[in-house]
Amino acid sequence: MRLEHIGVAVDAPDAAARTFRALLKATPYKTETVPDQGVRTHFLDAGAAKLELLEALGEDSPVRSFLEQRGEGVHHIAFSVPSLTATVEQLRAAGFELLSETPQNGADDKQIVFVHPKQTHGVLVEFCAPRTPDWSPRRIARPHGSVSAFVRGPEDAPPLVVLHGAVGSTRHETAPLIQRLESSFRVIGVDLSGHGDSALPDAPLTLDLFAADVCAVLDALDVPDAHVVGFSLGGGVALHLAATRPERVRRLAVLQTTVSWTEAQAAQMKQRLALDALEERAPARADRIRRRHTAPTPLLRRVRAFVDTLPAAAQALADGRLAVTAPTLVVAVDRDPLFPLDDALSLHRRLRTARLTVLPGTRHAFHALPLDALLPPLHTHLTASARIAS
Ligand code: CO
């Protein structure tokens, strides 16, 4: 659990934004209307947590009655939890009264519940958890079918591409990271070919194709170059893009990515991608895969064929340095069951300008990454101006 934001009720959001800009050098990076709660919210990044400026909407807005009774000021404090269902159960068992029977949709792609302030010494406490965002994609037409991107954050912030892993997608995988970065970057989540909202082209999946997906999105958005962050397969795509189109990449971060594929690792990966076997072993995961991609069965077949090519490709790279000049942050988890820590060390060694961060973790899954531990080194790396010594 961590402090996510502090809600502040304000009469005039423009005046409040001016005050907080003078005070904290932070300007609202996102404004959102939440009809269910009778508010318009304005988010500011205040370092360890956010400020949520609350503007009353309509006559029966709870924020309006708060302002009438108490004037401007702190309205609530909000803690983020991994599972709101579990939190609601624990709160009920502990005898707390909630302001709603079930979690409600709040701002910032969150589900929220409030605890009645009479039980919490007058402090209105919110608990929130991320929900799958209902972002709409920008579809970029290409000869082999469209590629989709989700663009978040201020237009004048440094552009940052975020790439998901094999059989992942932006909305269902990398969204929580994007939400944490969108106050500082113009974040561009790309659904790689065949994944999520992007069409599956009638051609084999290759690193060239995935890198071309990213270039097509950058071209359509008129972005000459960007930082690129990729998880697993997305990290491989990021490295390939940086090696083949260096002019398009500023800084790189690769999360749980290997370039030293063995036949055993490829076989293990393919097992994770066999839909029929998943049907028996992990039916919920199989069901999620079916719902999240436009053509799940052919997608998994093509991804397995792609994984087959990786050990030979890695062999070709086996010695010598990777032709990547962009400063790179290599992020590993210490007990990744798929890619041992040695893979990350070897990747780090083979890059010209890289730093390494090892986080605690036992799974090869984006949602298991400890974002609170990842964000500080990632942010430092992406905002650094000096080059890393070779
Ligand atoms: Co709130």
Ligand 1 centroid to residue 163 C-alpha, Å = 29
Ligand 1 centroid to residue 367 C-alpha, Å = 23
What's the CA gap between 288 and 130, in Å, rounded? 17
* Crossing angle of helices 283-292 and 296-308, rounded to 10°: 100
Ligand 1 centroid to residue 5 C-alpha, Å = 6
Predicted confidence pLDDT, tens digits, the chain (390 residues): 899 999 999 999 999 999 999 999 998 999 999 988 899 999 999 988 999 999 999 889 999 999 999 999 999 999 999 889 999 999 999 999 999 989 999 999 999 999 999 999 999 999 999 888 989 999 999 988 899 999 999 999 999 999 999 999 999 999 999 999 999 999 999 999 999 999 999 999 999 999 999 999 999 999 999 999 999 999 999 999 999 999 999 999 999 999 999 999 999 999 889 888 888 999 999 999 999 998 999 999 999 999 999 999 888 777 677 889 999 999 999 999 999 999 999 999 999 899 999 999 999 999 999 998 999 999 999 998 755 544
Cβ proximity of 197 and 135 under 8 Å: no
Cβ proximity of 98 and 91 under 8 Å: yes
Ligand 1 centroid to residue 60 C-alpha, Å = 18
Ligand 1 centroid to residue 6 C-alpha, Å = 7
Residue (of 268, 257, 250, 203) closest to 231 by Cα position: 257
Residue 203: burial class (beta carbons within 10 Å; 0-12, 13-18, 19+):
exposed
